[in-house]
A and B are shown apart, each in its own frame.
Chain A
Amino acid sequence: DVKVTQSSRYLVKRTGEKVFLECVQDMDHENMFWYRQDPGLGLRLIYFSYDVKMKEKGDIPEGYSVSREKKERFSLILESASTNQTSMYLCASSLLGTYSYNEQFFGPGTRLTVL
Chain B
Amino acid sequence: AQKVTQAQTEISVVEKEDVTLDCVYETRDTTYYLFWYKQPPSGELVFLIRRNSFDEQNEISGRYSWNFQKSTSSFNFTITASQVVDSAVYFCALSEGSNAGKSTFGDGTTLTVKP
Please report A residues at the B interface, Cβ cutoff 8 Å.
Answer: 31, 33, 35, 40-43, 45, 48, 50, 56, 58, 88, 90, 92, 94, 96-97, 100-109
Q: How many chain B residues touch the partner (CB < 8 A)?
A: 23
> In the complex, A106 Cα to B35 Cα: how many Å?
14
Query: Chain B 36-54, CB within 8 Å of chain A: the 1/0 string?
Result: 0100001111110010100
> In the complex, A103 Cα to B42 Cα: how many Å?
20
List residues of chain A with CB within 8 A of the CB of B106.
42
Docked-complex contact B45 and A48, CB < 8 angstroms: no
List residues of chain B with CB within 8 A of the CB of A40.
9, 107
User: A42-B107, A56-B100, A104-B103 provided; 4 other pairs, C-beta below 8 A?
Assistant: A40-B107, A92-B45, A97-B101, A108-B43
Docked-complex contact B102 and A90, CB < 8 angstroms: no
List residues of chain A with CB within 8 A of the CB of B101.
31, 50, 94, 96-97, 101-102
> In the complex, A67 Cα to B37 Cα: how many Å?
27
Summarize A's interface: helix, strand, loop or mixed: strand
> In the complex, A88 Cα to B95 Cα: how many Å?
23
Which of A48, A105, A109 is within 8 Å of B47, CB to CB? A105
Question: 16 interchain pairs (CB within 8 A)?
Answer: A43-B91, A43-B105, A48-B100, A50-B101, A88-B43, A90-B45, A94-B101, A100-B52, A101-B33, A101-B95, A101-B97, A104-B37, A105-B47, A107-B44, A108-B42, A108-B44
Docked-complex contact A48 and B44, CB < 8 angstroms: no
Docked-complex contact B102 and A103, CB < 8 angstroms: no
List residues of chain B with CB within 8 A of the CB of A31.
101
> In the complex, A45 Cα to B9 Cα: how many Å?
20
Docked-complex contact B91 and A106, CB < 8 angstroms: no
